[in-house]
Chain A
Amino acid sequence: MPRGKKRVSSFVQSRLSSPPPPKKGRSTTVSRRASRNECAPEVFNQKACLKWFQEYSQNDDPNIMGPDGVEKFCSDIKVKPEDIVMLVLAWKMKAKQMAYFTQEEWLQGMTEMSCDSIEKLRYKLDSLRNLLKDSATFKSIYRYSFDFTKDKDQRSLEIETAKSMLRVLLADQWNLFPQFMKFLDESKYKVINKDQWANILEFTRYVRDDLSNYDYDGAWPVLLDEFVEWLGKDNSMNQSEV
């Protein structure tokens, strides 16, 4: 799966083929919200915003911004594609598919943030980053990123993709993260399902790093039970080496 692998390197890039899902049902509500915001033209200029979008949209389908467009967009706002803020942005736009923005998503998200130019958005980035500090918002973004990242025709996230997503989301805030990655490498898991995904975050939040409050009967997915068991073995091995 070379495509999958490539996607790993920077999660927003790549994705050469596989068409984006232009969901029709969604657009009506979006446009209604957009029209509501039109009454404040000095704050937000919808036309400018759309024009901005068209700088990135694909030639064959002007309603969609593809991977190339996204890459250009990233460099315009001087953010690396794998920066977590891109995830927040996607979440704001309620983007359905990684590396693609539809016009409706764009308009809806930019309207909400009141951004119609590169400068405005760049100015906004810090406040977007700050959103991550709120634990409820983070949880929502975390959960959103599962559906955002996975192949639309699959139930689960392929393990390599999941790992790079976890790296973006959790590497900085979970001390056991390196061990968890090592565990996944050694395990035979090929995919992460939605329940496992959601519970990994819960686990990072509720189980202490020394596992002292870990409860075997705590209804953790077996994946995490096995991780705990693996940690135990790993530790004892390290100790015996010492």
Chain B
Amino acid sequence: MMKGNGPPKREGKMRIRAFPANMDEKYVDTIWTLLKNAIQEIQKKNNSGLSFEELYRNAYTMVLHKRGERLYTGLKEVVTSHLENKVRQDVLQALNNNFLSTLNSSWSDHQTSMVMIRDILMYMDRVYVQQNDVDNVYNLGLSIFRDQVVRYNVIGDCLRTTLLELVARERRGEVVNRIAIRNACSMLMILGIDSRSVYEEDFERPFLQQSAEFYRLESQKFLAENSASVYIKKVEARIQEEVDRAQHYLDQSTEPRIVDVVETELIKKHMKTIVEMENSGVVHMLINQKTDDLACMYKLFSRLRDGLKTISECVSKYLREQGKGLVQEEEDSKQNEAAAATGLPCSGGTNAISFVQKLLDLKDRFDHFLKNSFGNDRIFKQVIAADFEYFLNLNPKSPEYLSLFIDDKLKKGVRGMSEQEIESVLDKAMVMFRFLQEKDVFERYYKQHLAKRLLLNKSVSDDCEKNMISKLKTECGCQFTSKLEGMFKDMTISNTYMEEMKEHLMNKGQTCVSGVDLNVRVLTTGFWPTQTVVPKCNIPTAPREAFEEFRRFYLGKHSGRQLTLQAQLGSADLNAFFYGSMRPSGKADDGASGGGIEMASTSSGTFSVVGGSKQPRKHIIQVSTYQMCVLMLFNNQDRLTYEEIASETDIPERDLIRALQSLAMGKSSQRVLLKHPKTKEIEPSNIFCVNDNFYSKLHRVKIQTVASRGETEPERKETRTKVDEDRKHEIEAAIVRVMKARKRMQHNSLVAEVTQQLKARFLPHPMVIKKRIEGLIEREYLARTPEDRKIYTYVA
């Protein structure tokens, strides 16, 4: 195939002889020797006397005359022998002395010479190398250098240990020749020829292994010696160090790898240990308000996939413990509840307020962490919310307490909070409200408390009240608040009635009836937490007449309506006279009250005097309507037994006991009645009489009703029953709503849908929903399909 020279040409025609048409082996040898010498000169750095043009031409000639292979193998041999005999020997000699710099300088020499050689043999690169698909000249040089020098038995090991040793020394704090390492690393990268395999095998892998080993030991040492926060700072520093190292003298691609090793060894393997470290872990940081430490930990752990989960779990555990503690603390005060049940004063009110306040404080604390430590991370936000929801709903009294808390803030009080302060507290309370599952229970209590504020005129301001209602409306929709808004409307309309009533009396030439200044609130049934069965109560003559006058007036305007007196909601101001300690005498009360279609009233009246020589002390006593009824009895009689009072007034037992407790057993500055004997319980035979020695600095004495805040246990049960009853209807309504729209539905999807619809108000138990479904089947609103029991159809 190499038949270059054909037979001699016959024609004598002038021909241009193809340049070395024919090359005999001798000539080739000559050229090759020339080239070989030149290459060796280059390797000896004696290249100044060489003619680049000539060498190039020679190489060209060889390739052109199909001597490419010869040239290529020749080159390989020359380079190999140079590296084997010269360079490797040099490096080996420097093995224990100046190894790295020797290697680096050999490497740079090799690179320089290979560039020159490549230039000379460029034609071969272009033609022979491409045709035969072999390494080009430069890469050939690289692979020979790699195999004959860098990977030549001891050299490879020595290089690796040297590099690792240097890194280790730097980690220990010594200063090392970073440039030498960088050169070595870049050499390894280049020797890989388009891949990082050489770097990886000869350096990176052992490096990572060694690092892992190093950090494994270090983590143990660190953990044993340091607190969590110090540990975290050290880890942070280490990571930064490794990043610097990778950037400065390793290959860039090593950075994520080495960081990963550090993270794994220093954090991931010890995540739980760090987080749960006693006296310094997350709990410690939370307790001691170590916001910054937590932030560091958050930053560090966010590098790892499960890192934040681990922290959040720990936070959650602590939060739940705290929350449960708060919630159960409340449970512990069961004695108070028992006391309230028997009618004794209870601290339920203050408890409710501190209960909510403590929860709000806890929320504030964790919001602070969330914002300043955890960068408002979604995971933490959710965890905190879920935890609050969890423990807030552990205590069935939470809805009541929250309403009491809001009641406390909206009540006219001595606290003197500005509207902005109230506003911000209410906003926080709304956050708690969102966590409540039983919003319907809250609504019930809120209605009760709002009614009391409105009827007893205790609201701090209408604006605040309306503001709160609009907050509830935003949260739960207008269905939730329509009745509350109705209550406000009733109040406004009642004011108009009172104006008109006054005018009406003026026209008749009166200012008041029977000396009673009557104030009536007409309450629409359904809006207010009134009782359908109105408790009986014998109202004294004077206020009763005043009320009858109003009734005539009102029914004259609205015939066909029904007006019922809700005595339990009313209050009265009484003028009272006490005749000192000189001698026992009577005292007189007068006044009036009313209650609400349903009405509540406040009134003030005159008094009567029963003898007495000394100048009497005059007081205005503010009492409930029930108490008024009791006190007025003493206008006619000096002493009465409990039984007598009960039969005269007809007040329900529980309310009467409560009324008497605050009159006779409250604070001494409010004790206008005396009880014999002075026991704690009220017995039917106990005798009550006016406390003539009553003394108070205040002209206007308000009789605090005991146990008015917070429900007693029986009341609570009653409320619960009512709530359950309401829920039945709400669940049924929801089922019918869903089924009316869907016509046909599978059991589980129906339950899910109903739960979803009612979620905003309460969380119905599936079993309860099922019972309602059965009820509806029984009443033939729904039916099971004949083919599948689990599918219901809507029966129109």
Contact = CB atoms under 8 A, between A and B. Distances in A.
Interface stretch (B122-130, B561-569, B771-779): B771-779
Nearest to A215: B790
Chain B interface size range: 10 to 19
B777 A195 contact: yes
B412 interface: no
Nearest to B791: A219
B202 to A, nearest CB: 62
A196 B777 CA distance: 10
A217 interface: yes
Contacts of B767: 222, 225
Interface string A193-237: 111101100100000000000000111011001000000000000
B221 interface: no
A196 B766 CA distance: 18
Interface in B636-670: none
A225 B770 CA distance: 10
Contacts of B328: none
A4 B789 CA distance: 31
B751 to A, nearest CB: 8
B784 interface: yes
Contact of B774 (A155, A202, A217, A221): A221
A217 B748 contact: yes
A199 B778 contact: no
B778 A155 contact: yes
Contacts of B777: 195
A199 B789 contact: yes
Interface in B736-788: 747-748, 766-767, 770-771, 774, 777-778, 784
Contact of A222 (B748, B771, B784, B789): B771
B778 A193 contact: yes
A143 B766 CA distance: 28
Question: Which of B767, B771, B789 has the most chain A CB within a 10 Å cutoff?
Answer: B789
Contact of A194 (B748, B778, B789): B778
Nearest to B770: A222
A217 B747 contact: yes
B790 A195 contact: no
Nearest to A226: B767
A198 B784 CA distance: 10
Contact of A195 (B748, B766, B784): B784
Given A155-B778, A194-B778, A219 B771 contact: no
Contacts of A202: 789
A219 B778 contact: no
Contacts of A199: 789
A218 B789 CA distance: 9
B778 A195 contact: yes
Contacts of B766: 217
A195 B778 CA distance: 7
Nearest to A218: B790
A180 B789 CA distance: 21
Contacts of B748: 217, 219
A217 B749 CA distance: 11
A147 to B, nearest CB: 14
A161 B790 CA distance: 27
Contacts of B784: 195, 198, 219
Contacts of A218: 747, 790
Nearest to B748: A217
Nearest to B779: A155
B611 to A, nearest CB: 65
Contacts of B789: 199, 202, 219
A218 B790 CA distance: 7
A219 B767 CA distance: 10
Interface in B661-686: none
Nearest to B746: A219
Nearest to A216: B766
B747 A195 contact: no
Given A199-B789, A202-B789, A217-B747, A222 B778 contact: no
A189 to B, nearest CB: 12
Contacts of A225: 767, 770
Nearest to A217: B748
Interface string B554-584: 0000000000000000000000000000000
Contacts of A195: 774, 777-778, 784
A184 B210 CA distance: 74
A154 to B, nearest CB: 12
Nearest to B782: A195
A160 to B, nearest CB: 20
Interface string A148-161: 00000001100000
A221 B767 CA distance: 9
Question: Which of A195, A198, A199, A217 has the most chain B CB within a 10 Å cutoff?
Answer: A195
A205 to B, nearest CB: 11
A156 B778 CA distance: 9
A22 B790 CA distance: 37
Contacts of A194: 778
A202 B785 CA distance: 13
A219 B777 CA distance: 12
A49 B271 CA distance: 92
A163 B596 CA distance: 53
Nearest to B792: A219
Interface in B260-280: none
Nearest to B747: A219
Contacts of A222: 767, 770-771, 774
A198 B777 CA distance: 12
Contacts of A156: 778
A196 B767 CA distance: 15
Contact of B790 (A155, A196, A198, A219): A219
B754 to A, nearest CB: 13
Nearest to A195: B777
Interface in A145-184: 155-156
A202 B770 CA distance: 17
A58 B721 CA distance: 53
A218 B771 CA distance: 14
Contacts of B778: 155-156, 193-195
B792 to A, nearest CB: 8
A156 B777 CA distance: 12
A57 to B, nearest CB: 35
A192 to B, nearest CB: 11
A19 B789 CA distance: 35
A199 B778 CA distance: 13
A102 B789 CA distance: 34
Nearest to A155: B778
A222 B774 CA distance: 8
B774 to A, nearest CB: 5
Interface string B457-478: 0000000000000000000000
A217 B784 CA distance: 15
Nearest to A206: B789
A195 B784 CA distance: 9
A194 B747 CA distance: 18
A195 B774 CA distance: 7
Nearest to A203: B789
A219 B748 CA distance: 8
Interface string B276-299: 000000000000000000000000
A219 to B, nearest CB: 4
A219 B770 CA distance: 8
Contacts of A219: 747-748, 770, 784, 789-790
B454 to A, nearest CB: 42
Given A219-B789, A219-B790, 5 more contacts: A156-B778, A194-B778, A195-B784, A222-B767, A222-B774
20 contacts: A193-B774, A193-B778, A195-B774, A195-B778, A195-B784, A196-B774, A199-B789, A202-B789, A217-B748, A217-B766, A218-B790, A219-B748, A219-B790, A221-B770, A222-B767, A222-B770, A222-B771, A222-B774, A225-B767, A225-B770
Closest 7 pairs between A and B when the two form their complex, measured CB to CB: A219-B747, A219-B790, A195-B777, A193-B778, A222-B771, A217-B748, A221-B774
Interface of A: 155-156, 193-196, 198-199, 202, 217-219, 221-222, 225
